Structure 1
Amino acid sequence: MNQIFEDLAAIDEELSKRHLVLDPGGYFIIYLDRESGLICAKHFTNAIDERGLAVDPETGEVIPARGKVERTHATEFAGRTAKELCVKIFEETQPSPVTLLDHAAYLGREFVRAEMALVNGQDYVQD
């Protein structure tokens, strides 16, 4: 069983190295609110420049992928389960802040990971 887990982890690790096209609709910072029993997702707007980099729509400054960034989120979503959070973002919010299908799939995966961490009392770190 351990070998299967290692093989699957290696597949995911390799896939995490692929090039990603950024969503012009923005990005999400996902975290857990354990006291309230919620999965939370702050949505931040961005624009994509001619190089394919995410930039602050107000300043035109590149938004770094790593490190602390001081920005104000546009919206915050919360749900008790991954499914509830997906319904709020993709069905109840019109237009949806997510404009790319691969971004939607990524968020679904992350929300499930966050839900499992919440249920199992584990740490959650967004991929």
Structure 2
Amino acid sequence: MNRLADTITSIDNELSKRHIDLDPGGYFIIYLDREAGLICAKHFTNLINEKGLAVDPETGKVIPAKGKIERTAQTLYTGRTAKELCVKIFEQTQPCPISMLDHAAYLGREFMRAEYALINGTEYVQD
């Protein structure tokens, strides 16, 4: 990597460690369907408890940040590009499932990273 790329990677890695408030509108699991040429985003609903943790609205149990959990997605959104996916979620879905601007910005960044990986055949891992 060149120096600029190293600096950018370092900045992003450090910022990924910061605290973020969770969106009461829910969360997304983003992945690629390479065979279909799609970026996929499963939307899951949640509630935020008094400690700021996401909880399953059906069970009231805290949703772990890491590890496997069996939940049913509310909606599956797909797009061939990051822009197409953003238009579907932010402009065509009413009410919009995102209630926080920082969550919207995060999703836009992740969809661009996923699009890049789809185009270049590289691995995509959601941040």
TM-score of Structure 1 vs Structure 2, range by shorter chain = over 0.9
The count of aligned residue pairs is 127
The one-letter amino acid of 2:111's match is F
**C-alpha separation in 2, matches of 1:63 and 1:16:** 20
* SS of residue in 1 equivalent to 2:18: coil
Match of residue 16 from structure 2 = 16
Structure 1, unaligned runs of 5 or more: none
Distance 2:124 2:14 in 1: 20
**1:26 matched residue in structure 2:** 26
Partners of 1:20 and 1:73 in 2: CA distance: 22
* Counterpart residue type for residue 24 of structure 2: P
Q: Which residue of 2 aligns with 1:45?
A: 45
Residues 54-101 of structure 1 show CA distances to partners (whole Å, capped at 9, x for unaligned) of 000111100000000100000000000000000000000011000000
Percentage of identical aligned residues: 74
The residue matched to 1:41 in structure 2 has which SS? strand
The amino acid of 1:86's aligned partner reads C
Runs (5+) with no aligned partner, structure 2:
none
- Distance, in Å, in 2 between the alignment partners of 1:11 and 1:34 is 29
Q: How far did 1:17 drift?
A: 1.1
Structure 2 CA distance for aligned equivalents of residues 7 and 125 of structure 1: 20
> Within 2, Cα distance between the matches of 1:39 and 1:12?
22
Give 1:2's aligned residue: 2
What is residue 73 of structure 2 aligned with on the other side?
73
> Equivalents in 2 of 1:18, 1:119: separation in Å?
29
Q: 1:52 is paired with a residue of what secondary structure?
A: coil
Q: Distance in 2 between matches of 1:97 and 1:113?
A: 21
Taking the aligned partners of 1:76 and 1:98, their CA distance within structure 2 comes to 14
Give the 4+ runs in structure 1 shifted more than 3 A. Answer: none
